[in-house]
């Protein structure tokens, strides 16, 4: 009996200890957030996340429940806490609560902005929409120790510096591209890529679904596109493709993270896989051989043949049915084997098809040769003249200048992966540019946003992919999110160096650039190439 009493007393002491230990004051101004928030005020104390913390959402905004569940699931593996999600009306106001609410009606924040108020006793995350709250959740996660990213139980304590962050994006479109044609990357790998984008508040994933080396999206009316055209890749590996069900899973996974998929069918060049799958798409009626090399510019659809437009119509129709986002990307780049007048004729006709199915056409800047509708979008990658032509046609531009934003460019002459036709892109050079002043005559109001494309001629697996993507992706995310006045390399490189522990906790294979003051010696087990 005496022993039992002692045991109870001990439990009580332990229990009250956990509840009462004051949080260590932390300084919000010393946190190293990427992207850098619009404004931040530190208030010198801390909130402590415990197993008793509750996530509370407003009753009338059930969309927030997905965000609440996302947050709870993210926190669970490392903390071991199973945080309940309650409705505002169900809880008595009190301590140790993370409130999520999305009816702020603050014009300055737009759709994706948020206000994060961290006090000792509770956290309030507010915005105009669930998307804004989701972006704010990413900030909250970055304010926790990096061990929060581990998949196994960690010790904590889980403290967050107190203060106020008011934050919103500079550009509406903040994207990345993945080429699944040159080397195929399946659903799970694309989901991981989406996780990376979500972590840094990016909101578009452009998937380059077709090219000379492989057709990667099932089109029910033209099954040979994937059966034959998807059967190989650069170097002759076995390739692969997404069924429409696979694609829908990617779209849903992205949508749950407030990321929109932009599918690309590259036309009329870069079409060897289609030309190999259907003889009738060729001007001479003969099917091409499958192609596993790395050349560009040799293939073209037969642009004066009506069959071609039936084909394109069928493809776009099926793609639109499984794509909730506003854009269908039709490629249009490097069509060196298409006569210029045929190219223009083709782009104009395809634009009408995309419009007929209720979507906006997006294409590489080469499409500015055509007569574009003002709601089409040109993606600048190479020719500044094409970007100017877009402005002349009142067409918005997504900025992906190859010499600055291509994730497949080598870092320097010693990098073994990647290409260098647009130059080397060290981590500083990828960061130090302003989309709104890069091209004379292209101003901020002409720009929809920024995208960093990853072409995969040399990329065969996730380790290689991560090596080229990290750490440059973080810089592109910041260029898209953070206003220009808040950005400079000297400040950014310190914040990036401080992300090292987090990248390692995530098991990411990043390039350890000498230009970045990394804060943590490289852990054993993290494979660093070169
Ligand atoms: C050019 S960029 C291409 C791609 C290649 C890439 C390699 C663009 C619109 N076209 O077909 O994969 O270079 O960097």
Domains along the chain with CATH numbers: 2-167 (3.30.379.10), 173-409+421-462 (3.20.20.80)
Show the tokens assigned to 464. Answer: 């290689």
Under 8 Å between Cβ of 458 and 408: yes
DSSP symbol at 460: -
Instruction: Count CB atoms within 10 A of the CB of residue 293.
Output: 13
For 220, phi and psi rounded to 5 degrees?
A: -60, -35
In contact, 191 and 253? CB cutoff 8 Å:
yes
Residue-level pLDDT at 92: 77
- Specify the residue with its C-alpha closest to ligand 1, atom 9: 333
How far is ligand 1, taken at its centre, from the CA of residue 396, in Å? 21
Are 330 and 292 a contacting pair, CB within 8 Å? no
- To 5 degrees, how large is the angle CA 325–CA 331–CA 337? 165
- Cβ(204)–Cβ(259) under 8 Å? yes
pLDDT attached to residue 21:
62
In this prediction the pTM is 0.94
Q: Residue 173 half-sphere exposure, CB side, CA atoms within 13 Å?
A: 28
- Is the minimum distance from the CB of 408 to ligand 1 under 6 angstroms? yes
Measured CA to CA, the distance from residue 258 to residue 134 in angstroms comes to 8
Residue with tokens 């997006």: 362
Question: Nearest C-alpha to atom 11 of ligand 1 is from which residue?
Answer: 296
Q: Which residue's C-alpha comes closest to atom 12 of ligand 1?
A: 455
Q: How many Å lie between the centroid of ligand 1 and the Cα of residue 391?
A: 23
Q: Atom 10, ligand 1: which residue's CA is nearest?
A: 333
Q: What proportions of the chain, in percent to the nearest 5, are helix, strand and coil?
A: 40, 20, 45
Choose the residue to mutate in 291, 298, 333 for probing ligand 1, maximizing ligand atoms within 8 Å of C-beta: 333
Q: What is the pLDDT of residues 360-383, one digit of tens each?
A: 999 999 999 999 999 999 999 999
**Residues in Cβ contact with 119 at an 8 Å cutoff, skipping those fewer than 6 apart:** 43, 45, 47, 162
Angle at the Cα of 319 from the Cα atoms of 132 and 300, rounded to 5 degrees: 120
Dihedral (CA of 143, 147, 152, 153) sign: negative
Q: Return the pLDDT at 22.
A: 64
Counting every residue written for the chain, the total comes to: 530
CA of 455 from ligand 1 middle (Å) equals 7
Alpha-carbon distance of 409 to 402, in angstroms, equals 8
333 Cα nearest atom in ligand 1: 9
Question: So what's the pLDDT on residue 102?
Answer: 87
The pair of three-digit structure tokens given for residue 144, joined into one six-digit string? 């926790």
Q: Considering only CA atoms, which residue is closest to atom 7 of ligand 1?
A: 455
Residue that the structure tokens 């010499």 belong to? 403
Provide the residue-wise pLDDT of the chain in tens; the chain has 530 residues.
Answer: 455 555 554 444 444 444 446 678 789 999 999 999 999 999 999 999 999 999 999 877 778 999 999 999 999 999 999 999 999 888 877 789 999 998 788 899 999 999 999 999 999 999 999 999 999 999 999 999 999 999 999 998 999 999 999 999 999 999 999 999 999 999 999 999 999 999 999 999 999 999 999 999 999 999 999 999 999 999 999 999 999 999 999 999 999 999 999 999 999 999 999 999 999 999 999 999 999 999 999 999 999 999 999 999 999 999 999 999 999 999 999 999 999 999 999 999 999 999 999 999 999 999 999 999 999 999 999 999 999 999 999 999 999 999 999 999 999 999 999 999 999 999 999 999 999 999 999 999 999 999 999 999 999 999 999 999 999 999 999 999 999 999 999 999 999 999 999 999 999 999 999 999 999 755 433 444 33
Q: Which residues are catalytic?
A: 334
Closest CA to 199 of 473, 439, 9: 473
294 lines ligand 1 (CB under 6 A): no
3-class state of residue 409 by DSSP:
strand
Tell me how crowded residue 331 is: count the other CB atoms within 10 A of its CB: 25
CA 418 to chain centre: 20
- Is the CB of residue 318 below 6 angstroms from any atom belonging to ligand 1? no
Say yes or no: CB of residue 432 within 6 Å of ligand 1: no
Short-list 151, 267, 218, 247, CA closest to 506: 151
Q: What distance in angstroms lies between residue 334's CA and the mean position of ligand 1's atoms? A: 8
Q: CA-CA distances (angstroms) from residue 517 to 252, 415, 472, 495?
A: 38, 20, 15, 9
- 284 phi/psi in degrees, rounded to 5: -95, 5
First to last CA, the chain: 66
The pLDDT, as a whole number, for residue 20 is 47
Which pair of structure tokens corresponds to residue 6?
């002692």
CA of 282 to the centre of ligand 1 (A): 23
Q: How far is the CA of 457 from the centre of ligand 1 (A)?
A: 9
Locus of tokens 């995309």: 354
Q: Best mutation site among 272, 334, 364, 399 for ligand 1, i.e. most ligand atoms within 8 A of its Cβ?
A: 334
């Amino acid at each position: 009996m005496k022993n039992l009493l002692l045991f109870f007393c001990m439990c009580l002491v332990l229990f009250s200890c956990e509840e009462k230990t004051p949080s260590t004051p932390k300084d919000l101004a010393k946190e190293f957030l990427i992207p850098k928030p619009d404004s931040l005020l530190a208030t010198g104390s801390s909130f402590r996340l415990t197993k008793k913390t509750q996530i509370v959402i407003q009753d009338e905004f059930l969309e927030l429940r997905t965000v609440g569940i996302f947050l709870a699931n993210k926190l669970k593996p490392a903390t071991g806490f199973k945080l309940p999600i309650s409705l505002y009306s169900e809880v008595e106001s009190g301590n140790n609560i993370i409130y999520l609410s999305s009816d702020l009606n603050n014009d300055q924040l737009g759709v994706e902005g948020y206000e994060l108020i961290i006090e000792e006793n509770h956290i309030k995350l507010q915005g105009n929409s669930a998307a804004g709250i989701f972006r704010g959740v990413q900030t909250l996660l970055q304010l926790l120790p990096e061990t929060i990213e581990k998949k196994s139980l960690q010790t904590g304590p889980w403290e967050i510096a107190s203060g106020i962050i008011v934050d919103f994006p500079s550009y509406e479109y903040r994207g990345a591209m993945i080429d699944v044609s040159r080397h195929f990357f399946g659903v799970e790998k694309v989901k991981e890529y989406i996780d990376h984008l979500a972590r840094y508040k990016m909101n578009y994933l452009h998937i380059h679904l077709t090219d000379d080396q492989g057709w990667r999206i099932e089109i029910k009316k033209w099954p040979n596109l994937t059966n034959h055209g998807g059967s190989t890749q650069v170097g002759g590996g076995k390739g692969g493709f997404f069924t429409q069900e696979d694609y829908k899973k990617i779209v849903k996974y992205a949508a749950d993270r407030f990321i929109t998929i932009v599918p690309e069918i590259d036309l009329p060049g870069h079409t060897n896989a289609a030309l190999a799958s259907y003889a009738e798409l060729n001007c001479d009626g003969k099917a091409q051989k499958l192609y596993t090399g790395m050349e560009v510019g040799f293939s073209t659809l037969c642009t004066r043949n009506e069959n071609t437009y039936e084909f394109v119509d069928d493809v776009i129709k099926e793609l639109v049915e499984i794509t909730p986002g506003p854009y269908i990307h039709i490629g249009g780049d490097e069509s060196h084997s298409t006569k210029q007048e045929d190219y223009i004729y083709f782009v104009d006709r395809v634009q009408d098809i995309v419009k007929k199915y209720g979507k906006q056409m997006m294409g590489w800047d080469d499409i500015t040769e055509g007569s574009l509708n003002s709601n089409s979008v040109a993606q600048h990658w190479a020719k500044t003249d094409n970007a100017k032509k877009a402005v002349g046609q009142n067409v918005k531009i997504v900025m992906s200048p190859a010499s600055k934003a291509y994730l497949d460019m080598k870092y320097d002459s010693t990098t073994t992966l990647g290409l260098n036709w647009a130059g080397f892109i060290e981590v500083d050079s990828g960061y130090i540019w302003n989309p709104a002043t890069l091209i004379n005559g292209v101003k901020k109001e002409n720009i929809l946003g920024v995208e960093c494309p990853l072409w995969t001629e040399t990329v065969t697996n996730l380790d290689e992919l991560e090596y080229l993507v990290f750490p440059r992706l973080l810089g592109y995310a910041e260029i898209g999110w953070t206003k220009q006045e808040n950005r400079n390399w000297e400040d950014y490189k310190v914040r990036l160096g401080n992300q090292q522990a987090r990248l390692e906790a995530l098991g990411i294979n990043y390039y350890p650039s000498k230009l970045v003051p990394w804060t943590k010696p490289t852990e054993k087990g993290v494979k660093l190439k070169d």
